[in-house]
Structure 1
């Protein structure tokens, strides 16, 4: 193919395509490219987008790169063409499978060092049939956020990967002999096979949400020095380049946005401005306020008796009143001053206990300290400690509990200096209640230790 004609054709084609793109961009407005709020969520996953694309491309194949040289003094520019399949995995990254064919050629018609009469190193020209070349590349968008528009019009990308090529060079020697490697590959195959490493860059232009123009350049590094059929200048390896343009079509439900062009910043803005989200936030604020009010109501204790108003069955009790779990005053029986109770020190109140507990309360310390003082000042005095329990639980459990309560009182008195021999304990369990066990007030009074005393010689 004539290089001048090919060059003019490619330049004209690209210019025409760019003109179409420019016209499209000028007629597009932000209103036509806006992602409808709620159509996609920032963390909604890949399923909400179109991600699979198929493309076709054509361009120029050259036996060298824009840097470096090869085994021949002059590069010819031949036609290459191919198709691509791509899956976009994220806003900035996708995997692309490319398959292409074409022709690569060059000659020694340029008279430079080592070349004369159209030949160098015994070679005059070559023309290689690139029968097939497939590669898998990662494609990274390096500019997928446009702060001037809600959707990008242009994305820049870089690519890299690995591929496998089958080709057959036809070489013309300096003496005019033509050597064709097709069906004569060293391994007995029709074509020579080599690993190829492609590295490229390019620009993608959005024509519509589902159609894009790709313009790119790929440098291909061949793992061999046989692409041009001239194995010279060892240990160099051959390479070739592909400059191309093509159209890419994104498949899938047109109602879904194309992940290639979604601007994550604009998407976050839309999601934050979504009126539905704002309504949910306001509703949540209302629910939180109601919960806070309910908690405040639960904590409110108008009379300060330690029982909140919602559970206080006796509101308005005076400050300092001893109340039960319902907020009602606990009325203790008056000391028995009858003759039958003369043997019991009326100055000693019963020692009260919490439910299912034998731990002394601080309110019992004054009574215990008075009993201790009396015992230590009167060596002839002995005291019997009678333990009792309310009727909750089994009789055996209550018997053990009443004994533990009597022992708690005894331990306190012994630790205060009273001789343990002057203290006797008895356990009565839930028997001999002094109040009604069917009420909480009565059960509180029955959880007790009573004092009984006797003077020696009496």
Structure 2
């Protein structure tokens, strides 16, 4: 039993030491455990607890070999408490405990107690509770809360001893009293684990230093008696579950949270100001673009006649046309086509020849075409060229050939100095015959390019 008790005590101490490594939950900068710094609340400060465990004269403090009964036994104990938390690290709690404490010793002879049993009818103590590990800059709430306790208490108990012969004797003090009241000093440690917003799991170990050597019914030596209590229990926080608990509230982290929030609000305000300035700049840019667009309209000259569109009463004037101040073409001088002019054109028509089935002008046609080019240049005449074919071949082929031959004549005349804008070349294919296509002579007449001078 003693070995098992030692193992249990060592395990409990290890859990309490290891609990400090996990004493904080990650910080999410949330409002779950946030209280505005220096506001005084609201926080929950009252809680009640119940617990049960093992009572034994074996303790982790002092030399157990010097106790009156050196073979401890474990008995059941139970109790509860009411706690008031004044700061995140300091609270006061009123404890209640009852149960039994038993122990044994070697066979020292007849009449010497070999075992004892003390019934702890009641005990009450007022202890300070120091919570550790819940002050952190980066963590908003303690998930595990290590603690230390120390205080003073008063208890009532009855003790019986049994000697080697099996005789049981009720212990009485010097006044002959069997029910004894005595002061004691409880010192403990442990940790609490958050199971919810209002419930904690409480694991603790407490050593009670009795202020006499009568607790085990055997008064010998110079040291007072002591006993320990290892327990597990539940703590219930009083008040609304939405209100943070003082014991898990972290004021340092709340100050950090307040700083982060204010920093976020400052950033948001500055970003809003930046966005407003950007909107103003965008509006100014749009206004400038609108103004520039209006200015551009004052100088645009789409037809290139030297008169801006805003003042141009005759838009889309052909390139090279001489215009007046309103952009309208100047009146053309009256052009008279003389009989000599007509003869020059007719001579070009009569001498016009192309390679068979092609738009290539034969060289013998050049002299008469040169005279037409000189006429167009000197008198600034306009000329319409209309190409025609017979019905030999497909319609598409004939239309393309007639157009190509008219364009070939235009290109030649332009190469000789004629104004291209005054020459119109059109192909009509076989659609406008002037003779029958049933005879070779008629087809010859239909294969022609008409010159219209104006």
Q: TM-score, normalising length from structure 1? A: 0.50
The corresponding residue for 1:34 is: 30
> What does residue range 381-396 of structure 1 map to in structure 2 within 5 Å?
none
Which of 96, 103, 127 aligns to 1:137? It is: 127
- Residue 75 of structure 1, CA deviation: 0.6
The answer to whether the Cα contact below 8 Å between 1:215 and 1:246 also exists between their aligned partners in 2 is yes
Partner of 1:223: 211
For residues 387-406 of structure 1, the aligned pairs below 5 Å read none
Which of 235, 260, 263 pairs up with 1:273? 260
The secondary structure found in structure 2 opposite 1:266 is: helix
Q: Structure 2-normalised TM-score?
A: 0.51
Confirm or deny that 1:237 pairs with 2:237: no
Identify which of 58, 61, 65 aligns with 2:55. 61
SS at 1:140 equivalent: strand
CA distance in 1, matches of 2:89, 2:70: 40
8 A Cα contact 1:61 1:80, kept in partner: yes
What is the DSSP-based 3-state SS (H/G/I as helix, E as strand, rest coil) of the residue aligned with 2:252?
A: helix
Count of matched residue positions in the alignment of Structure 1 and Structure 2: 259
CA-CA distance at 1:74 after TM superposition: 0.6
Paired residue for 2:297? none
Residue of structure 2 equivalent to 1:156: 146
Q: Tell me, in whole angstroms, the C-alpha distance in 2 between the residues paired with 1:35 and 1:241.
A: 41
Unaligned runs of 5+ in 1: 110-114, 284-458
Q: 2:38 aligns with which of 35, 43, 50?
A: 43
- The whole-number CA distance in structure 2 between the counterparts of 1:239 and 1:120 is 26
Matching residue within 70, 75, 85 for 1:73: 70
State the match for 2:168 in structure 1. Answer: 178
Indicate conservation of the 8 Å contact 2:189/2:205, yes or no: yes
Match of 1:104 in 2: 101
Judged with a 3 Å threshold, the aligned counterparts in structure 2 of structure 1 residues 58 and 134 are, in CA distance, closer, same or farther, namely same
Q: Could you say what secondary structure the match of 1:268 adopts?
A: helix
Whether the 8 Å CA contact 1:146–1:152 is kept in 2: the answer is: no
Deviations 1:264-283 (A, max 9, x none): 2220022223359957x989
Tell me how far apart the structure 2 counterparts of residues 75 and 264 of structure 1 sit (CA, whole Å): 44
SS at match of 1:267: helix
Matched, 1:91 2:81: no
Shift in alpha-carbon separation, 1:207–1:147, aligned structure 2, 3 A: farther
1:48 counterpart SS class: coil
User: Are 1:133 and 1:165, in contact at CA under 8 Å, matched by a contact in 2?
Assistant: yes
Deviations 1:135-163 (A, max 9, x none): 11001112112456321111211111100
| CA–CA separation in structure 2 for the residues paired with 1:108 and 1:120 | 13
Alignment of 1:291-440 (within 5 A): none
In the superposition, relative to structure 1, how do residues 186 and 131 fare at CA in structure 2: closer, same or farther (>3 Å)?
Answer: farther
Q: 1:179 to 1:53 in 2, by over 3 A?
A: same
* 1:249 and 2:236 correspond: yes
Distance 1:129 1:265 in 2: 46
Contact 1:108-1:120 within 8 A present in 2 as well: no
**For 2:262 and 2:124, how far apart are their aligned partners in 1?**
49
Counterpart Cα distance in 1 of 2:164 and 2:125: 35
Change (3 A) 1:87 1:146: same
